[in-house]
Structure 1
Amino acid sequence: MNQNKEILDQIRGGLVVSCQALSTEPLYSSYIMSRMAYAAQLGGAVGIRANTPEDIIEIKKTVNLPVIGLYKQVFEDSDVYITPTIEAVRDIVAANAEIIAIDATNRLRPHGISLDDFFKEVREMYPNQLFMADCATYEEAIHAYEIGFDLVGTTLCGYTEQTKGVAIPNFELLQKLANYSKIPVIAEGGIWSPEQLKQALECGVHAAVVGTAITRPMDITKRYVQAIQK
């Protein structure tokens, strides 16, 4: 457990860079993500967030930062796609991610399984693993804390039916969670500028994750092009 405290201390107050590319994106490659992670480390990142066991394994060969690992998988019977099954958790554990991110919204998981039943089984299997709850609302984050998650994040705010249209970064939610939560809060979602990053950390959160604004050149380019087209 002391090791877990060291991991949390290592990311405290800093920037975690999300290095992810889906199969439909130009930079889809474990090797490219590992170089992206290395660039982030050289730039001062305190941690990396990464998707798939393959990417995590490759990234860990290159950087010595804590990794928040997840496994995005799509199932027809559920909207949950961030580490949605026990098998996905097992694969990320095997890839040696220091923290594992799991969808902790109130939606049913694949095969109609509730979060509570799912996480009870996960926690019994891996009692000493750090788990991050990817949430969309204040209530979901508090519930995740109550059932034993080690960190809560605002990752899915604006991306669920319940929060569709909510402006992100949701600084009000960050402030509210930081004021209440007895466990580390991770600001994630919609942070596009250094100023927004600073504002998120000033809410009192433990750390913040930035992805698209740093590691998705196609989206960054689109943002610039849209600005001149207006």
Structure 2
Amino acid sequence: MSVLLKRDGLIVSCQARADNPLHGPSFMGAMALAARDGGAVGIRANGAQDVQACKAAGLPVIGISKVFTDGVPVYITPSREAAEELAKAGADIVALDCTPRERRGDAPETLVRYIRNDLGLEVFADISTFDEGLAAEQMGATYISTTLSGYTSYTEPKPEGPDLALIEALASRLSTPIVAEGRFNTPQLARSALVAGAHAVVVGTMITNPREITRAFAQSLAARP
């Protein structure tokens, strides 16, 4: 299977929670177009409607489906049904939580096989540790992403900056392309991920969430002595 995401490229995560004024496929589709015009090589989008909207940008779309269940930590594309919905919506790549945590759905190795063999799509494995990255490669993931570093109970507390050490460790050991994701909030930090060995970098909040960007500025000004 060919690798769709260009090396040294920027992938923009076009997502907005339900309480965000920009929530909805029309806004996310516009974000994807803006990201394309700015030089992005791919889009990460949540849910079938947003995936369909983002396809108009003409870039590879990494689809995820967030399915929340009380008391269950895994919610990123936890089942074959969720993956199939993304495929029908036009996702080129399906991302899933590849940690060994409790889930309501299918085991990650089952999902990886299903996405690659039955749906014929590439797999984007979200992991949080080095061992999870090794396991994801053995499962057959097309890409391994550091998305969940700092967001699992055993990698908390979340550090302020990205996990460059994890990227470097994975890139030096694995042949699967490593994608850097998580807290890359400046162009300089994104560039440092490539230096550490990342194939590409995902940036979300600092590009597509003006509410959080505004909050950061406002809090900094309010803290002036």
TM bucket (normalised to shorter chain) is: over 0.9
Please give the TM-score of this superposition, normalised by the length of structure 2.
Answer: 0.94
Q: Which residue of 1 aligns with 2:146?
A: 154
Distance of aligned partners of 1:28 and 1:227 in 2 relative to their CA distance in 1, 3 Å threshold: same
Distance of aligned partners of 1:118 and 1:98 in 2 relative to their CA distance in 1, 3 Å threshold: closer
Higher helix share: 1
Contact 1:77 1:110 in 2 (8 A): no
Q: Secondary structure at the match of 1:163?
A: coil
Instruction: Tell me how large the CA RMSD over aligned residues is.
Output: 1.4
Q: Secondary structure at the match of 2:154?
A: helix
Equivalenced residue count is: 222
Q: Which residue of 2 aligns with 1:45?
A: 40
Q: AA paired with 2:134?
A: I
Distance 2:22 2:12 in 1: 16
Match for residue 31 of structure 2 among 27, 36, 40: 36
Q: Aligned-pair distance for 1:76? A: 2.4
Structure 2: which 5+ residue stretches go unaligned?
none
Distance 2:112 2:70 in 1: 21
Q: Aligned-pair distance for 1:115? A: 2.6
Contact 2:115 2:123 in 1 (8 A): no
Distance 1:130 1:117 in 2: 14
Q: Structure 1 stretch 188-197 or stretch 76-85: which is displaced more?
A: 76-85
User: Which runs of structure 2 are paired with 1:24-173 in the superposition (5 Å)?
Assistant: 24-61=19-56, 63-110=57-104, 113-126=106-119, 128-167=120-159, 168-173=161-166
What percentage of residue pairs aligned between the two structures are identical? 39
Distance of aligned partners of 1:164 and 1:70 in 2 relative to their CA distance in 1, 3 Å threshold: same
Q: Aligned-pair distance for 1:85? A: 1.2
Structure 1: which 5+ residue stretches go unaligned?
none
Q: Aligned-pair distance for 1:214? A: 0.5
Q: Aligned-pair distance for 1:121? A: 4.4
